[in-house]
Structure 1
Amino acid sequence: MHVRVPLNRPELSILPQPASIVREEGYFQLTQDTVIVTDQETQAIGTLLANMLAPALGFLLSVLTDEHTHLPTISLGIDSQLAHLGQEGYMLKVTAGQATLRAAHPAGVFYATQTLRQLLPVEIFSSTPVSRTWTIPAVSIEDFPRFSWRGCMLDSARHFIPMQEVVKLIDVLAFHKINVLHLHLTDDQGWRIEIKKYPKLTEIGAYRRETVIGHARRPQGYDSTPHGGFYSQDDLREIVAYAADRFMTVVPEIDMPGHAQSAIAAYPELGVLKAPVEVATTWGIHPYLYNPTEAVFQFLKDVLSEVMAIFPSTFIHIGGDEAIKDQWQDSQQVQALIKALKLKDEDELQSWFLSQIRTFLAHNNRRLLGWDEILDGGLPSGATVMSWRGMDGGIMAAQSHHDVVMTPTSSVYLDYYQSNDPAEPLAIGGYLPVDKVYAFDPTPTVLTPEQAQHILGAQCNLWSEYVQTTEHLEYLLFPRAIALSEVVWTPKERLEFSDFRGRLAVHEARLASLNVNFRPVEKLDQEQMFPARADLVVPGGF
């Protein structure tokens, strides 16, 4: 049974919207006598829930594994009879005497706890004790995600994102049932992951001497201020473990064959020119590519071996985008290799290059994931495509029986302006308001049902060329990332922007209590005050 939640019932303002929710009579009251009862598989989830509720409650709920209690109970458990809800679906039933959270797998129980948090008064997200009566409305919820891949990409390469902000965002994203954090760790402007075998990658590659001021197309000089930073391997293991506790997979991206200038700055012998170059101080696409030699492949395999030791993710993202082939075209050695391999051109050489990496990853039981340029010159066998230049690349890949994550610039690039307001902070360009994100459908209608099975889901991307502070980062993410979370979780027939907007207005108090910076709903009504911006850069441009 699917019931539309009325906008005048803030106690049921849940984001993303559940597949089915029925309001029952009465409330469950949460007091110091309430206990959380779990089974063995959900004990850690119960403890995490108790810790999340404790700051506002002012007390820590006891977590028990003994079901024989007459106390008011929040009951967590695994129920194999709910297998039809999938790996992440759940059932949540609240009565006057008990809140029952069940799923066939632990991930579903975790998502049930996140829904339960949203059923409590908004003050539950306070970081200090709140004196009030804590009630949960009686409801019956059956819920499951529309897509298995519900992602968000953060770019630490252009501007370094401190570890504590990454951890904070994991909490906020998981709260909205996002289950993939894609970390963009290397690019021309910075190398952000410690590789023990190659220490210069962070000693040199993690720092640039200055950064261009203003937009790359309208530069205003340089700031004369060094910028840099990197995550130690221990930092990243901590991030991975923190995310895993919240049933989120962290997918690393190590760019190749292009976007390699920071690595080549550290080790010039990796490049085609084998000449010194500094870490890039400007944005845009740079011409430095890895040289396709055995020595460079060994370097990349060494790097990926250390990456795989940190990240258990099935997918390893290798970039594959925006590789200008000028240096390959001008190199006699590279041209001789193309001829020896009987390849048609540099695009086919890139395909061959990435096929070597795909084979290496496959031997380590990992899957290659890349931007849709990996289609150029022929898609490596078994590769998964992240379609960003529109959806055509994803359609082509799905029709060829390759898995796809849809992430087109036009719908989910959160480095675009979300308003025509001249006071908006500098962005890369384009115009992407929250309602346009909400209107996005990751499954193209041209695909057959069989082909559509290859659409794993979608993710939003936040490139950081123009994002220098965590406040700006969060402002660009929210509420647009929340809109995307509903698109990829909630059944398509349940999506309605006016309803989402009403729930979001209530939800803002939760975000504020979580100390999240966001663009308020009230500003949506101000858009008509502003004419279309004349200074918007063409989408996708730098």
Structure 2
Amino acid sequence: MSQPRPFSRLLGSLLLAAAATLSCAVAADADDAAEPAAARAHPVRPLGQIVPAPASVLPGGPPYTLTPQTTIQVDASPGVRAVGEYLAGVLRPSTGYALPVTEARGPGGIRLRLRSAERELGDEGYRLQSSRDALTLTARGPAGLFRAVQTLRQQLPAAVEKDTRQPGPWQVAGGTITDTPRYGHRGAMLDVSRHFFTVDQVKRYVDQLALYKINKLHLHLSDDQGWRIAVDSWPRLATYGGSTQVGGGPGGYYTKAQYKEILRYAAARHMEVVPEIDMPGHTNAALASYAELNCSGVAPPLYTGTSVGFSSLCVPKAITYDFIDDVIREVAALTPGKYLHIGGDEAHSTSHEDYVAFMDRAQATVAKYGKTVIGWHQLTGATPAEGALAQYWGLDGTSPAEKAQVARAAQNGTRLILSPADRVYLDMKYTKDTPLGLAWAGYVEVQRSYDWDPAAYLPGVPASAIAGVEAPLWSETISTSDHIEYMAFPRLPGVAELGWSPASTHDWEKYKVRLAAQGPRMEALGIDYYRSPQVPWPAG
């Protein structure tokens, strides 16, 4: 009769153990409902699944996780600290973490390091190393670190871009990315002449461009419909010539202080501003402002339409060159960058002889004030100055003679920026149903804007002559930031990839998947993008 007692105790112990196990399981399930739920919402993004595609990706090891204790450790350099503060500014609102920027070295943290000896990284290349213990960004200079920060942003969940606190975890997949750009010129052009855009609107676009490693902002500052930069020696250019826009709106212009603020803001994002003063055509705003610039001595009315090719500076007049000298001198003095764009396209009202003579003098004036000329590819019909860049905007159907003219210039040392209108003009309609944009160059869907090779695009042009690519956005039908974003995105990231990524990574089928993953990021940033049916966007 004594045996059941030990059995009862054993059964009781087994029941207690089972209960304890069940309790632990319930507790574990409760924990799983918190952090792992967030983890399911923000899975670790595979290393290198970003836009533009990196040059080299070696995944491996556990991810790095940002925590409330994470610091941003920088070298003792103002340039590096500025990049660190920029990074902190991106991460703090969404993570809610303090993320102090410090020169103190410590365990873990995000480390920004300069290593001048790593020459293979060039001016803009970087290395990102992610492990459980630390995340290290290495470059030869601050520009490379800034490009690395854009990669880091894209490796984190898209919610990191929001300006309110979001649930984590905030993880970067383990491994190493080593990355350098294919081309040194990766540009975007914004036409502020057909419609005027404020300083804040330009800054917003600069921030969007920076995410995709664009390094040149080309501002089209003058055209028939408006003059957008103050020139002290010719004040009516801005006050009168800038007083309207396409459709007759109020227009506007940048004071010199406002222009410098745009340049400062872009420079903080390691982006060079290239100002364009279009000449000798596309000049009605100037001709309307000053009668003496016209051969007839009579000023035409201000123009609010969209036709091209009807205006021209008076090439024989001496005052024309006083005007050009003053404008270039003042704009060059404001602009720390290397380049000044002088337009030169669609000069249909200027004879060929006058065009050649004018461009010779205009290019000499640019050199006089310490800048290097960029012109549209019609410049190759004159004599491009030494070091000048020609920006090609032709189509697949451009005449063989015109393409041959550009090729000869390239063979003779003129380098090219490629902006083929039927590939990368962001103002072209996506389809016939696109509510904005033009279609004179055809419809340009996302695949068409991406699926071409700059090095092989123009017959007879040496690959070494390609300086890079640029995506222009003309503004005949574009008047708001929403308009800019709808037309630029998602085509702009593809152009950025053409400029940055090695040719070996070019693959539409793979790219469209990486691009689709940018959808939630663009939404988090408030970018009003076109949901192309060619891209497998995430549901929801």
Tell me if both proteins adopt one fold, taking TM over 0.5 as the criterion: yes
Distance apart, 1:516 and its partner CA: 0.8
8 Å contact 1:51–1:60 — kept in the other structure?
no
Match of 1:262 in 2: 285
Matches within 5 A, 1:455-494: 455-494=466-505
8 Å contact 2:446–2:534 — kept in the other structure?
no
The DSSP-based 3-state class of the residue aligned with 2:455 is coil
Match of 1:358 in 2: 363
**Distance verdict in 2 for CA 1:445–1:467, change over 3 Å:** closer
Q: C-alpha distance in 1, partners of 2:382/2:533?
A: 48
Q: C-alpha distance in 2, partners of 1:114/1:306?
A: 34
Confirm whether residue 497 of structure 1 aligns to residue 508 of structure 2: yes
Distance apart, 1:377 and its partner CA: 3.9
**Distance verdict in 2 for CA 1:442–1:155, change over 3 Å:** same
8 Å contact 1:190–1:207 — kept in the other structure?
yes
Distance apart, 1:226 and its partner CA: 3.2
Q: C-alpha distance in 1, partners of 2:91/2:407?
A: 44
Confirm whether residue 77 of structure 1 aligns to residue 77 of structure 2: no
The DSSP-based 3-state class of the residue aligned with 2:173 is strand
**Distance verdict in 2 for CA 1:177–1:271, change over 3 Å:** same
Confirm whether residue 369 of structure 1 aligns to residue 393 of structure 2: no
Matches within 5 A, 1:89-108: 89-108=125-144
Name which of 26, 46, 50 aligns with 1:14. Answer: 50
Distance apart, 1:354 and its partner CA: 1.5
Match of 2:328 in 1: 304
Confirm whether residue 512 of structure 1 aligns to residue 523 of structure 2: yes
Confirm whether residue 153 of structure 1 aligns to residue 189 of structure 2: yes
Cα RMSD, aligned residues only = 2.0
8 Å contact 2:328–2:365 — kept in the other structure?
no
8 Å contact 1:467–1:473 — kept in the other structure?
yes
Name which of 403, 427, 432 aligns with 2:444. Answer: 432
The DSSP-based 3-state class of the residue aligned with 1:75 is strand
Q: Deviations over 1:419-438 (max 9, x none)?
A: 24x25335344211111111
Give the aligned residue type for 2:263.
V
Match of 1:385 in 2: 390
Match of 2:455 in 1: 443
Match of 2:275 in 1: 252
Segments of 5+ residues of structure 2 without an aligned counterpart are 1-42, 397-402
Match of 1:45 in 2: 83
Match of 1:221 in 2: none
Distance apart, 1:11 and its partner CA: 4.4
Distance apart, 1:455 and its partner CA: 1.1
Matches within 5 A, 1:310-325: 310-325=334-349
Q: Deviations over 1:304-324 (max 9, x none)?
A: 111112211211000011112
Give the aligned residue type for 2:102.
L
**Distance verdict in 2 for CA 1:427–1:445, change over 3 Å:** closer
Match of 1:230 in 2: 253
Name which of 96, 99, 104 aligns with 1:61. Answer: 99
The DSSP-based 3-state class of the residue aligned with 1:282 is coil
Match of 1:339 in 2: none
Confirm whether residue 289 of structure 1 aligns to residue 312 of structure 2: yes
Match of 1:276 in 2: 299
**Distance verdict in 2 for CA 1:113–1:524, change over 3 Å:** closer
Distance apart, 1:381 and its partner CA: 4.5
Q: C-alpha distance in 2, partners of 1:276/1:359?
A: 27
Q: C-alpha distance in 1, partners of 2:45/2:65?
A: 17
The DSSP-based 3-state class of the residue aligned with 2:117 is helix
Match of 1:165 in 2: 201
The DSSP-based 3-state class of the residue aligned with 2:123 is coil
Q: C-alpha distance in 1, partners of 2:469/2:480?
A: 26
Distance apart, 1:133 and its partner CA: 2.1
The DSSP-based 3-state class of the residue aligned with 1:457 is strand
Q: C-alpha distance in 1, partners of 2:518/2:348?
A: 44
**Distance verdict in 2 for CA 1:211–1:455, change over 3 Å:** closer
**Distance verdict in 2 for CA 1:182–1:467, change over 3 Å:** same
The DSSP-based 3-state class of the residue aligned with 1:228 is coil
8 Å contact 1:170–1:243 — kept in the other structure?
yes
Distance apart, 1:294 and its partner CA: 2.2
> Rg bigger for which structure?
2
Q: C-alpha distance in 2, partners of 1:296/1:399?
A: 33
Q: C-alpha distance in 1, partners of 2:530/2:219?
A: 24
Moved more, 488-497 or 515-524: 515-524
Give the aligned residue type for 1:60.
A
Distance apart, 1:184 and its partner CA: 0.3
Q: How many corresponding residue pairs? A: 483
Distance apart, 1:355 and its partner CA: 1.4
Name which of 28, 45, 49 aligns with 2:64. Answer: 28
Distance apart, 1:453 and its partner CA: 1.8
The DSSP-based 3-state class of the residue aligned with 2:136 is strand
Give the aligned residue type for 2:322.
Q
Q: Percent identity?
A: 34
TM-score by length of 1: 0.85
Segments of 5+ residues of structure 1 without an aligned counterpart are 1-7, 213-224, 329-345, 527-542
Q: Deviations over 1:374-421 (max 9, x none)?
A: 12244344432111124825423211111111111121111111124x
Q: C-alpha distance in 2, partners of 1:316/1:426?
A: 27
Q: C-alpha distance in 2, partners of 1:376/1:14?
A: 40
Distance apart, 1:365 and its partner CA: 2.1
Confirm whether residue 132 of structure 1 aligns to residue 155 of structure 2: no
Distance apart, 1:447 and its partner CA: 6.8
8 Å contact 1:155–1:462 — kept in the other structure?
yes
The DSSP-based 3-state class of the residue aligned with 1:207 is coil
Match of 2:40 in 1: none
Distance apart, 1:94 and its partner CA: 0.4
8 Å contact 2:281–2:312 — kept in the other structure?
yes
